[in-house]
Amino acid sequence: MNSGASRTIAATDSAPTAPSKSVLEPHQLTPSKPQASSQPPFLPPFDRSLMERLTDEVARNIEKRLRIERERRGL
């Protein structure tokens, strides 16, 4: 019974292992020089009606939140 426990303790007391390759060091987080590309990034065509609907929906959601908050406070 003790032999199993001693093996477990011995295995955990071994020297710490090096961090895995998936861990980024601070110097790896900073962007390097941007690579010059001969092609500009792909931009989909601007859809005015879609943008208008999106902004209207955002405005409605904000107004709804304000109304709910006012009702909650009793104003």
Domain total in the chain: 1
Give the distance from CA 51 to its chain's centroid. Answer: 25
- Integer Cα distance of 6 and 34 in angstroms: 54
Judge whether 73 lies within some domain: yes
Judge whether 51 lies within some domain: yes
Judge whether 66 lies within some domain: yes
Name the token pair of 30. Answer: 């900073």
Over residues 8-67, the pLDDT tens digits come to: 555 555 555 555 556 666 666 666 666 666 887 887 888 999 999 999 999 999 999 999
DSSP structure class, residue 74: T
pTM metric for this prediction: 0.41
Range of the domain at 62: 46-75
Judge whether 62 lies within some domain: yes
Spell out the long-range contacts of 69-74 with Cβ–Cβ below 8 A and sequence spacing 24 or more.
none
- Integer Cα distance of 67 and 60 in angstroms: 10
